[in-house]
Amino acid sequence: MDVLLSEPVQALVAINVLLTLSLLFPFVTGVWSLGMPGFMAVGAYGSSWLTLSMGWGVGPALVCAALAGAAVTLPFALLTLRIRDIYLAIATLAAAELIVLFFSHFKPTGAVMGLTGMPFLETRWLVLMAVGAVLLSALLYNSRLGKALIALGTDPMVASCHGLNVPMLQFASLAVGGALAGLAGGCFAHYYSFISPGNFSFHRTTDILMFLVVGGLTPLGSVIGAAVLTLVPQVITSLEKWAPALYGAIVLLMAIYMPSGLLPKNRLTRWLRPGRARVSPPPVADAMRSAKGGKALRAATKGAHNA
């Protein structure tokens, strides 16, 4: 229990929760965007620049970090108009690498040496922001917009036939994800007071992806996934060296035995609004069974598994 009270651990969990939520919304919508480290880098460098060079307070700088994170998703969103599925994942990965590469050559932000000296942000603010983000995402997830996003992730064709504006909704989900990643990046910069391009590598995406797979594609699921997997190596400190392998094993087992994650249904909002959330939205992994996007994939793998 001491672990839960230590501030670095709380901060780590808060940042990871924000990042997991930022990956959740595009994924729920069926936009497999792996551009998260890029958005995070933009938020981190943006808020650092505002506080260091412009003399802004941390609060407004974080707001701007979130906005910058959302704004930088626009070119990514334009990619979604052309490609999807695994191709989109690779394209967004490349675009994120480009952003990080830019920062590792951009002299004013210290290039590969990184940037330091950002004003410190206390842990309780991070935790507060994470909690707020969780509540807001839970509300968003169960709102009309959230339902539209889930419908889109389930079957874009049907969603489009029901009058949903598919490109706009995809843009919106990417923007929400980008804003959360930007905010997380800002928090990261102000908590650790040091950022370098190495902080925004592909490995960050893979970690967060694992949190999401373990937790399930719902706001509460992402919180649980992020919190549990972040805490496991902290609680069992003797396992610290083997922590990534432990993650790997957990994710492998989860993918085989609980493909929808720990919490595929959104229990948090049922508790928040008991009257309205009686019909839970379908977990996306189950819904993918009928989704168009996964059809070719399933057809292709069916034989390999069954024959």
Partner 1 sequence: MLTQQLVNGLMLGSVYALIGIGYTLVFGVLKMLNLAHAYIFMTAPFMTVVLIGMGVPAWLAMGLGVVGAALLGAVLYLVAFRPIPREHALGGFVASLSFGIILQVIVVNVWGTLPVRFPAVLRLPDVTLGDVIVSGVQLGSLVVSGALMVMLLYVIRSTRFGRNIRAIALNPTAAGLLGVAVPRAVLMVFLLSSGLAGLAGLMVAMRFESIGAFMGDMYAIKALAIIIIGGLGDVRGAVLAGLLLGICEVMFKAYAAPGWSEAFIWLFLIGVFLLKPEGIFGVGIKTREI
User: Residues in contact with partner 1, total (CB under 8 A)?
Assistant: 61
The yes or no reply on residue 226 touching partner 1 (CB under 8 A) is: no
Pairwise CA distance, residues 68 & 287, whole Å:
32
Distances 186 to 15, 34, 144, 160, 272 between C-alpha atoms, Å: 10, 19, 29, 36, 29
The yes or no reply on residue 11 touching partner 1 (CB under 8 A) is: no
The yes or no reply on residue 298 touching partner 1 (CB under 8 A) is: yes
Q: Which of 107, 144, 241, 278 is in the footprint of partner 1 by CB under 8 A?
A: 241
Residues 90-129 that bind partner 1 (CB under 8 A): 90-91, 93-95, 97-98, 101-102, 104-105
Closest separation between CB of residue 83 and partner 1, Å? 6
Pairwise CA distance, residues 216 & 223, whole Å:
9
- Interface map 23-52 toward partner 1 (x if CB under 8 A): ------------------------------
Closest separation between CB of residue 158 and partner 1, Å? 10
Pairwise CA distance, residues 263 & 95, whole Å:
31
Residue number, 186 or 221, with CB nearest to partner 1:
221
Closest separation between CB of residue 51 and partner 1, Å? 28
3-state helix vs strand vs coil in the chain, percent to 5? 80, 0, 20
Q: Name which of 3, 13, 36 is nearest 176 in CA terms.
A: 36
Stretch that binds partner 1, among 49-57, 123-131, 247-255, 271-279 (CB under 8 A): 247-255
The yes or no reply on residue 202 touching partner 1 (CB under 8 A) is: yes
Closest separation between CB of residue 164 and partner 1, Å? 10
Token pair, residue 253, equals 């087992």
The yes or no reply on residue 166 touching partner 1 (CB under 8 A) is: yes
Pairwise CA distance, residues 123 & 12, whole Å:
9
On the 0-12 / 13-18 / 19+ scale of CB atoms within 10 A, 279 is exposed
Closest separation between CB of residue 140 and partner 1, Å? 21
The yes or no reply on residue 157 touching partner 1 (CB under 8 A) is: yes
Q: Which of 231, 232, 255, 262 is in the footprint of partner 1 by CB under 8 A?
A: 255
Token pair, residue 110, equals 């210290």
Cβ atoms of 293 and 84 closer than 8 Å: yes
Stretch that binds partner 1, among 142-150, 185-193, 218-226, 288-296 (CB under 8 A): 288-296
Closest separation between CB of residue 16 and partner 1, Å? 16
**Residues in Cβ contact with 105 at an 8 Å cutoff, skipping those fewer than 6 apart:** 111
Helices and strands (H, E) in the chain, number of each type: 16, 2
Q: Burial code of 161-173, b = ≥16 C-beta within 10 A, e = fewer?
A: eeebebeebbbbb
Interface ranges with partner 1 (CB under 8 A): 79-84, 86-87, 89-91, 93-95, 97-98, 101-102, 104-105, 156-157, 160, 166, 202, 206, 209-210, 213, 241-242, 244-245, 247-249, 251-252, 255-256, 259, 284-286, 288-289, 291-292, 294, 296-307
